[in-house]
Amino acid sequence: MGGTAVVAERPPEPAPSEPDSVPLTDGMAPLWPDETAEASFIAEARARGEPLVVARPAEESTDESAGKALPPLEELVQRIPDEVREVLEDLFRARFVAVRRLPGKALKE
């Protein structure tokens, strides 16, 4: 049985993927700009005439309803029109299970 020998080739190994985050090691440059780099960037942007908007922390608003008791779930569900509840059930199989208070900063303005 003389024939040509077939050599099976191994598929190339995939290149190692880069991780989403890199752990910091001793002597490694920081991954985020420090105060000096930020100040330098702002100075350069001002020199170019770019308008700079500095984000200020949002003021904490006092929520006057924070101390009040939450209404019962059934009462809130009854505020939703029947047609809307039926569509929610048909499309999403939506179930109302709890009443929770959200902080004001979690809501869009």
Give the pLDDT confidence of 37-80 residue by residue, as tens digits.
888 988 999 999 988 777 776 666 566 666 788 999 999 999 99
Other C-beta atoms within 10 Å of 88: how many?
A: 14
**Owning domain of residue 88:** 69-99
How far apart, in Å, are the Cα atoms of 58 and each of 2, 17, 33, 84?
A: 83, 39, 23, 35
In a domain, 3, yes or no: no
Q: What is the pTM of this model?
A: 0.37
pLDDT band at 27 (very low <50, low <70, confident <90, very high): confident
- Residue 86 within a domain: yes
Residue type at 29 in one-letter notation:
A
Q: How many CA atoms does the CB half-sphere of 7 hold within 13 Å?
A: 2
Q: How many domains does the chain have?
A: 1
Q: Is 90 contained in some domain?
A: yes
The answer to whether residue 95 sits within a structural domain is: yes
The residues, any chain, with a CB within 8 Å of residue 24's CB and separated by 6 or more, are 30, 31
In a domain, 43, yes or no: no
Task: Find all residues with CB under 8 Å of 22, minimum gap 6, and list them.
Answer: 31
Question: Quick check: is 53 in a domain?
Answer: no
